[in-house]
Structure 1
Amino acid sequence: MSWIQDPAFINILYIISFSLFIYGLMKLTGPKTAVQGNWIAAAGMGVAVVATLLIRGMSNWWLIALGVVVGTVISIPAAYKVKMTAMPQMVALFNGLGGGAIALISWAQFRDTGGFAEEELSKVIASLFAALVGSISFWGSNVAFGKLQEILPGKPVGLGRLQQPVNLLTFVAAVVCAVAIASGQTSEWWMIGLLIASAILGLMVVLPIGGADMPVVISLLNALTGLSAAAKGIALDNTALIVAGMIVGASGSILTSLMAKAMNRSIPAIVAGGFGGGGTSGGGDTGGEDRHVNSTSAADAAIQMAYAGNVVVVPGYGLAVAQAQHLVKEMAELLGEKGITVSYAIHPVAGRMPGHMNVLLAEADVPYEALKEMDEINSQFGQTDVSLVIGANDVTNPAAETNPDSPIYGMPILKVNQSQSVIVLKRSMSPGFAGIENELYYDPKTAMLFGDAKSSVADIVEELKQL
């Protein structure tokens, strides 16, 4: 059975594994094949794990088995029990664990090789890069988790003018430790110093970023974890780790760029300090002005949509909080039976993570072809009879186009204000992540239906059944 541990056979297994990674990723492009894609990619990871365990010299089998059991016992129940509203937090947490694992592997390699003695310089540099970036990703992801879970304040928390000097100082400290190790220093304190400095940097970079920028932060940290994994793969001569890391790093980088573009904000500006306080309380600054809003009822909303030619549903984080996606689909089916065309306007940064609304609606089996991206749907709002906004705040705020003093000025939005009429389902007049009022709510053709979104949609459904 010696052929099983032959390097050529192990390389074949690695080729199979990353082929499955790539094929699985291709399947993730649509909701109908996404589940299959996940299973295919998971099978690829299984093959990669088996291939790694077959490498000669692999030991500590009981410790490896214990790690697998502990990880399985924790992760599977967590993934099954997590609510859709908490999915962004879980993504941030699991992504951080990946970066933390890479940093710890680098530390273990440092200890196992006597401070990288006799290691090639290129592999030492790759391992140090993996440690630095992995540690940043781990601690930054934990801050993102804390903000999304509201354990930490959603608003920016920073040091003011000292923020950037402190960030620069910690980065220089991490680089100095890395250079010292690469130059032949074998004291473990240099590696500990590198990990501590990069940990502080990860904390200090993400803490000043507000809730409005969190979708971009999640995808950026995901990209960093992928890059650290690829670097670790180079240091360990692990083909599967290199390919998987590069796939995650490249896709995360592309997604980060697209998300930043969707918010009309540069990535350096986001990292330098974001805006928004999570929108969990407060009603924004009205300057002391008592502004009028139009209220409506579920019965009136149902009648308005029942006699429309087309309806556009605009989902936001409020839809996720209320878990109203299944009722929204039922409402759309009732409208469809009346000959009314229903579509869904999807903003790239609606919700708290990339693709949040797509995942939410896919869970309710909403037809994929009914989901319309921002660029496509914006040209149709002028011919839309009714737009039904469910918990979407900043991404529908006309101030992004009309108020140069607004912090979201210039951010592309869903132009629901161009519809013939707008119905907004919302608990209160509290602001969104950016912490500012939505001018759409004061538009004369906008009607507010206050209350829990799930209850409101349920009432609308009952009313539609009576018409």
Structure 2
Amino acid sequence: MSMNLITALYLVASVCFIQALKGLSHPTSSRRGNLFGMAGMTIAVLTTVGLIYRLGAQMGEGAGLGYVLLGLLLGGTAGTVMAKRVEMTKMPELVAFMHSMIGLAAVFIAIAAVVEPQSLGIVAAITDPIPAGNRLELFLGAAIGAVTFSGSVIAFGKLAGGAVFGWKFRLFQGAPVTFAGQHWLNLAAGLAILGLGLAFTFTGDLSAFGVLVALAFVIGVLIIIPIGGADMPVVVSMLNSYSGWAAAGIGFSLNNSMLIVAGSLVGSSGAILSYIMCKAMNRSFFNVILGGFGAEAGAVVAGSQEQRPVKSGSADDAAFMLSNADSVIIVPGYGLAVARAQHALMELTEKLAHRGVSVKYAIHPVAGRMPGHMNVLLAEAEVPYEQVFEMDDINPEFGQTDVVLVLGANDVVNPAAKTDPHSPIAGMPILEAYKARSVIVNKRSMASGYAGLDNELFYMDKSMMVFGDAKKVIEDMLKAVE
């Protein structure tokens, strides 16, 4: 396999990744986007295997091809098993785990290049001593990769509810973990990493490189622990961006155009998505990057709200209201995913549609535990794309809607964001369910959401609470409608 062919194949893979990202920008083209992504990755992996074989032939040895093939076998098997077994409620943890592996891979490649630059010389034109430009790339790739790895591990634990392999860890708890001088410590660690990185860049000091990598692992923990469970969608998006930049940095060191393009796509798209998510939660984007994101919301203690009476009803009552409405908007939340009720919900909406009821779904940008969580959940149940609407598109319709059915959502429909300027979520864009003529809210209990706030929507005269597991409640509604 000639270098010209390798370059051309990497270019084809890069184009596939660009098309994949374009396809994933809309539900109707997401399947095509996934196919492009899989094709691009297949081309990239096979091309890399061919490149390693070529290098082995030139060097008169295997060049580690056996290890590469073993890694592909183990990684491919593990990925297949995890993809088949993972539940929809565990998808955010899986994404965080994948980010951590990307970051760790970047660190390992950087360490290999620093310790034995000759081993990568043919691939990356790295010589001994390593040029200052390559040392800068290795510093950035290793530092960002280490932050991504340790930060993703903490995010994984928080998304898993604080328990990993049955063990409880305080760092993994959903509530923010804060202590005096935390931000100053983060600043000091960040400046130390920058100083050590510059020292490595200009002097090639290996000890400086080792210390900066260790500090990067530590700061990855420090910037994620003060972030509460409610903010995990933004954290997942942010770590996605970090993993992309880590890959791009290593791509420069390896002189691999495909890795540069793919990493830059992931990094830039993740950063843009993080900004959109922050805007949807009325948060500071820079506060996210600096690790202070979520601390304010954590000051509110869940469960401390005054207990007030609410109007409650049964699944039969809710079914009667839905079947006699002309228009219904459904607001899915994490509770729907936990109960795995999306398929039962799809059956219910089909029954309502046969009765002439107009049914639409309203998706908040931060609903669930990761960006697009609810979209994937509904797509799994084969909900028609034309029935699913984003917040900005659906909000003007709530005022003319007969019934809104809220399933497991909380903070994203809290009117306090609009009516209480002193609320921690004041100014946060919400789904304006409170404007509908009637509201049905399904929750297991009156427990507050991750923001720890009481929801005024639950106490309105137009609102009716239906308590219970979402799947059981929806199945009971379905029987009543039939």
Instruction: Please confirm whether the aligned pair reaches a TM-score higher than 0.5, indicating the same fold.
Output: yes
Residue by residue over 1:346-375, the C-alpha shift from the partner in whole angstroms, topping out at 9 and shown as x without a partner, is: 100010100111010000010111111111
Deviates more, 1:331-340 or 1:178-187: 178-187
2:410 equivalent among 376, 393, 407: 393
CA distance in 1, matches of 2:236, 2:68: 29
Residue by residue over 1:361-391, the C-alpha shift from the partner in whole angstroms, topping out at 9 and shown as x without a partner, is: 0000101111111111111111010000000
1:255 equivalent among 273, 285, 291: 273
Provide the secondary structure at the position in 2 that maps to 1:444: coil
Query: Could you tell me which residue of structure 2 aligns to residue 80 of structure 1?
Result: 84
Q: Give structure 1 stretches of 5+ with no counterpart.
A: none
Residue by residue over 1:163-199, the C-alpha shift from the partner in whole angstroms, topping out at 9 and shown as x without a partner, is: 1111012112222221222122343x32221111001
Question: AA paired with 1:425?
Answer: N
2:55 equivalent among 57, 74, 78: 57
Query: Could you tell me which residue of structure 2 aligns to residue 176 of structure 1?
Result: 195
Contact 1:313 1:343 in 2 (8 A): yes
| TM-score normalised per structure 2 | 0.91
CA distance in 2, matches of 1:166, 1:283: 28
Contact 1:318 1:426 in 2 (8 A): yes
Provide the secondary structure at the position in 1 that maps to 2:458: helix
Query: Could you tell me which residue of structure 1 aligns to residue 283 of structure 2?
Result: 265
| TM-score normalised per structure 1 | 0.94
Query: Could you tell me which residue of structure 2 aligns to residue 285 of structure 1?
Result: 304
Judged with a 3 Å threshold, the aligned counterparts in structure 2 of structure 1 residues 278 and 95 are, in CA distance, closer, same or farther, namely farther
Question: AA paired with 1:43?
Answer: A
- Check if 1:311 corresponds to 2:289: no
Provide the secondary structure at the position in 2 that maps to 1:272: coil
Query: Could you tell me which residue of structure 1 aligns to residue 242 of structure 2?
Result: 224
CA distance in 2, matches of 1:86, 1:378: 29
Question: AA paired with 2:55?
Answer: G
Query: Could you tell me which residue of structure 2 aligns to residue 334 of structure 1?
Result: 351
- Check if 1:208 corresponds to 2:226: yes
Query: Could you tell me which residue of structure 1 aligns to residue 435 of structure 2?
Result: 418
CA distance in 2, matches of 1:124, 1:118: 10
Question: AA paired with 2:211?
Answer: G
CA distance in 2, matches of 1:167, 1:440: 39
Query: Could you tell me which residue of structure 2 aligns to residue 133 of structure 1?
Result: 144
- Check if 1:237 corresponds to 2:218: no
CA distance in 1, matches of 2:134, 2:221: 27
CA distance in 1, matches of 2:302, 2:177: 21
CA distance in 1, matches of 2:411, 2:422: 15
Question: AA paired with 1:22?
Answer: I
- The Cα shift of 1:32 comes to 4.2
- The Cα shift of 1:159 comes to 1.8
**Aligned pairs for 1:425-436 within 5 A:** 425-436=442-453
- Check if 1:159 corresponds to 2:179: yes
Q: Give structure 2 stretches of 5+ with no counterpart.
A: 57-62, 119-125, 163-171
Aligned identity (percent) is 44
- The Cα shift of 1:253 comes to 1.1
Q: How many residues were matched structurally? A: 455
CA distance in 2, matches of 1:73, 1:278: 43
- Check if 1:40 corresponds to 2:51: no
Residue by residue over 1:49-87, the C-alpha shift from the partner in whole angstroms, topping out at 9 and shown as x without a partner, is: 222233343511111122112212222111111100010
Query: Could you tell me which residue of structure 1 aligns to residue 102 of structure 2?
Result: 98
Provide the secondary structure at the position in 1 that maps to 2:138: helix
CA distance in 1, matches of 2:460, 2:153: 40
CA distance in 2, matches of 1:345, 1:368: 12
2:159 equivalent among 129, 148, 151: 148
